[in-house]
A and B are shown apart, each in its own frame.
Chain A
Amino acid sequence: MLRPIPPIAWIPLAVLWFGVRGDRASNFITFVAAFFPLFLHTFSGIRHIEELHLNAARSLGAGRRMLLLDVALPSALPFIITGLRISLGFAWMCVIAAELIASNSGLGYMIEINRSMLNTANVICGMITIGAVGYLMNAGILLVERRFSWKPLQ
């Protein structure tokens, strides 16, 4: 029900609820944007745990704690990290959009102010900064992915 509503469409409601001052409206939009990709990926990661691994773990004496921490979580981790990457990109996009419209701080707000003052150089500077920060965040997640992900057995 809530998922098909694009996070950007929440901006007007967020402004009504939280006001333009401060970060609360854009925090809310970021949350809405990040929630579903991560949730759905985690969910399908858990659903894709192989019966074989669960059976093996149970016949090796794993209790609930080990089933969760040593089997379910690492098994779903590649999905979770993918979800995290998508969530991050999406949230970054939406936080800028929210700041453009419903904020009085942040990079989006800075671009918007400079646009109204016809200061093209600053607008482009803001865009480049946004790109660079997004790139670095993605690189960070890739690093995490390389550390924790495993390749499935053929």
Chain B
Amino acid sequence: MTDSLFSIKGLSKSFRDPRSGVPLPVLNDLSLEIASGEFISIIGPSGCGKTTLLYHLGGFLKPDAGSVRYKGAPVLDPHPERTVIFQEYGLFPWKTVLGNVEFPIKARGVPCRERREIARKYINMVHLNGFENTCPQQLSGGMKQRAGIARALACQPEVVLMDEPFASLDNITREIMQEEILRLWSEVGKTFILITHHLEEAIFMSRRVIVMSARPGRVKESVEIDLPEPRSPEVKAHPRFAALKKHLTHSLREEVEKTIALAKRLEPDEEPSGEPETAVS
């Protein structure tokens, strides 16, 4: 691969339990290199620190130990070059779609009229034209996600970090959005990093899948996805797809089982989270 965009070395992070004050290690000695222009997915059992890792890449959290470097310089603050699409979209409900998409352009200091034009270009890109003056709460889930994507692209990012962006969409919308993201990825040629617990989604969309271990998270394995390009829904019927899925299911299942065992040992009176089961479906 080409030289790396993100270089994570020995990253560790723990959070204090709000009740007992005991530090809870979430990431432990995680190292990962991400090359420019990659589409990479990070999967792992719930609670393994996927989101924590993403927040480190975005610059929202500071590592306890180790380093996160972006283009050779340590990541200290959030920056529009490494923009994040959050699970709950994070659209501003007091702004219209246009206002939301204009936000990062305004932050760059572009004058009002030009701003509008640039924002319209991104809105057209995600096929939301006609909804410029609609408020986010009047949009459907898929349209909110599109608006969120348009807003992220309006940052002119080098890296798009996505934290389970399709989690609250129905299956069909989800598939359509996956294809749209892939189309945008090939159009803009940027690096996309996707956090998901949906295995098929990870295989279908990415060129590389990172499996994280049970908490405290580290990279368990990195799997190159050598499926035919460009990706279309037909690759899901490809024999290689099934083989990769089998391998990754097995790998992920091990970690989910560890997570459940850990939860049982730590908190016998609390039910283990129901989420890991959906992870392997």
Contact = CB atoms under 8 A, between A and B. Distances in A.
Interface string A112-154: 0000000000000000000000000000000000000011111
B238 interface: no
A56 B79 CA distance: 10
A49 B118 CA distance: 28
A45 to B, nearest CB: 12
Given A60-B155, A62-B103, A153-B137, A52 B94 contact: no
A60 B59 CA distance: 12
Interface string B75-86: 001111011101
Contacts of A57: 92, 103
B84 A59 contact: yes
Interface stretch (B29-37, B104-112, B120-128): B104-112
A60 B86 contact: no
Nearest to B55: A55
- Secondary structure at the A interface, as helix, strand, loop or mixed, is helix
Contacts of B92: 53, 56-57, 70-71, 74-75
B158 interface: no
Contact of B136 (A59, A60, A153): A153
Nearest to A56: B90
A52 B88 CA distance: 8
Contacts of B59: 59
A75 B94 contact: yes
Contacts of A4: none
Contacts of B223: none
7 nearest A-B residue pairs (beta carbon): A56-B90, A61-B80, A61-B107, A150-B94, A60-B104, A74-B94, A58-B78
22 contacts: A52-B90, A53-B90, A53-B92, A55-B84, A55-B86, A56-B92, A59-B79, A59-B83, A59-B84, A60-B103, A60-B152, A61-B80, A61-B104, A61-B155, A62-B103, A75-B94, A150-B93, A150-B135, A151-B135, A152-B137, A153-B91, A153-B93
